[in-house]
Amino acid sequence: MFAGWKKHKFLFEELVKRDFKKKYKRTVLGMGWSLLMPLLTLFVMKIVFEQFFGRTMSHYTTYLFCGNLLYCWFADATNHGMLSLYANAGIFTKVNVPKYLFLFAGSVQTLINFVLTLLVFFVFCAIDGIDFTWKFALLVYPIVTLMVFNVGVGLVLSALFIFFRDIDYLWRVFLQLLMYGSAIFYTTDRFSPSMQTVFACNPIYRHIAYFREVVIGGAVPSLSTHLVLAAFALSAVSLGMFMYKRYNTRFLYYV
């Protein structure tokens, strides 16, 4: 699947530049929106939910920001990935290039946006009185696994969208459900053991919980947590690569 990567390196770089310029074209704030939108969302959620869930919780703003940060990255990356093939049909129907390049280029753009927001997150942690320790270096692990997971889900969605345009509407509904089911603004300790199992099967919640355990709890997540995150990432990207390999030639007939 990745044969000839060096051959198409220039195209990949140009796609990243194009997607970045396209995203902020005709906007006054430009890249500033990458920082402003998560902050505005955080502000709204804090106003709405703090009175219900944050009264007795210390560092609630950081708790909320952890959830919002990772969920928004997943939503942005997968939405972009879903449309990556269809939006670039005019290129790959005329030129023989690896189709995954379009999704990878978009993934780089969303990763840059995430890193910018992550820097703001660290500023909020400092304001909220969070102690910065060596354990913060562990956050690289869930960032890498979620990045791979995002790519895998994006590959699956982009392939499905070529064949079924309904995926766009279904995915919007699913993301809404996922937002409420990932414990972004509430804690999970009040739920039954069966519900705890449901949360444990949610990849986004597991990544959010990892962040919170390190940042707020100051703890090192267990080995099983690391293995679960790796399993989520590898499963998603393996399924995505399988779909691209199997349906690669059929994409041309449906765009």
Q: pLDDT digit string (tens) for 43-91?
A: 776 676 666 665 567 888 899 989 999 999 999 999 988 988 887 777 7
pLDDT higher than threshold 90 for residue 231: yes
**Can you tell me the mean pLDDT for 151-155?**
94
**Which pTM was predicted?**
0.86
pLDDT higher than threshold 90 for residue 174: yes
pLDDT of residue 51: 65
pLDDT higher than threshold 70 for residue 206: yes
**Can you tell me the mean pLDDT for 151-159?**
93
pLDDT higher than threshold 60 for residue 2: no
pLDDT higher than threshold 70 for residue 201: yes
pLDDT of residue 229: 97
pLDDT of residue 28: 52
Question: Which residues does 125 contact at the CB level (< 8 Å), separation at least 6?
Answer: 62, 132, 215
pLDDT of residue 151: 94
**Can you tell me the mean pLDDT for 155-167?**
90
Q: Which amino acid is at 6?
A: K
Average pLDDT, the chain: 83
**Can you tell me the mean pLDDT for 163-191?**
91
pLDDT of residue 9: 65
Cα angle for residues 45, 71, 214 (degrees, 5° grid): 95
Give residue 216's pLDDT band: very low, low, confident or very high (50, 70, 90). Answer: very high
What's the chain's Rg over C-alpha atoms? 19
pLDDT of residue 54: 54
Alpha helices in 128-166 (DSSP H): 140-163
**How many whole angstroms separate alpha carbon 105 and alpha carbon 103?**
5
pLDDT higher than threshold 90 for residue 246: no
Contacts by residues 169-172 (CB-CB < 8 Å, ≥ 24 positions apart): 171/78, 171/79, 171/82
pLDDT of residue 187: 87
pLDDT higher than threshold 80 for residue 33: no
**How many whole angstroms separate alpha carbon 242 and alpha carbon 255?**
20
Q: Which two tokens stand for residue 94?
A: 């005329």
Number of other residues whose CB lies within 10 A of the CB of residue 182: 24
Domain positions in the chain: 6-253
Cβ-contact 83, 161 below 8 angstroms: yes
pLDDT of residue 108: 85
Give residue 31's pLDDT band: very low, low, confident or very high (50, 70, 90). Answer: low
pLDDT higher than threshold 60 for residue 168: yes
Q: Note the pLDDT tens digit of each residue in 86-110.
A: 877 777 667 777 777 778 888 888 8
